[in-house]
Amino acid sequence: MNDLIKTGCILVTGGAGFIGSAFIRQLLELTDYRVINIDALTYAGNLATVSDVMQSPRHEFVHADIIDGPRMRQLFENNQPLALVHLAAESHVDRSIDGPGVFITSNIVGTYTLLEEARRYVTESVSEAAAQFRFHHVSTDEVFGSLGRDGEFTEESPYLPNSPYSASKAASDHLVRAWGETFRLNTVVSNCSNNYGPYQYP
């Protein structure tokens, strides 16, 4: 493993949320990566979640919205990341029913913006990091619909979203896959089940 792989830069979106902050703490504890933590600090984002790493020389917090293309481009260009771990999302089903528009904007348009800036970075940068770049999109098992009391979802499960939230995440999953197939961007999608823990938004 070369030094770049061991000590390069990782961009993390949604790093002030409860899952993103847990991921960043683990990343800083278990690796030597430099972490750029990007968060818009909406209702579910809170700097208290990363208060214990704010003074780390390997952690930088950036208050920004992922739909801001020029800002995202600047972060790619200035940091030459090895990877982007995309956790930022509007993620509450009830809120998506009351106001689906923000879910469309953040989850679909935001993911599209990141994909385009990642594609630009990989295409235009001559750095070794860009040549090895990976876009990791963190999604939800809710894109597969309702599981019921028994059974399980697999990678072959059909998409059956039942809410504006899960539909917006399903759309973003398809965008990531399409950018991987069409533009040969190195992508991976993980569909996580429900999580709970410290700093979780009520």
Provide the annotated active-site residues.
Answer: 141-142, 165
What is the distance between the alpha carbons of residues 197 and 81, in angstroms, rounded to a whole number?
Answer: 29
Q: Distance (Å, rounded) from C-alpha 177 to C-alpha 107? A: 15
CA 108 to the chain's CA centroid:
12
Burial (CB count <10 Å: 0-12, 13-18, 19+), residue 155: exposed
Instruction: Give CA–CA dist 12/89, Å, rounded.
Output: 12
Q: Name 52's Cβ contacts closer than 8 Å, sequence gap at least 6.
A: 25
- For residue 87, which of 23, 165, 155 has the smallest C-alpha distance? 23
**Closest to 24 in 3D by CA, of 39, 44, 6:** 39
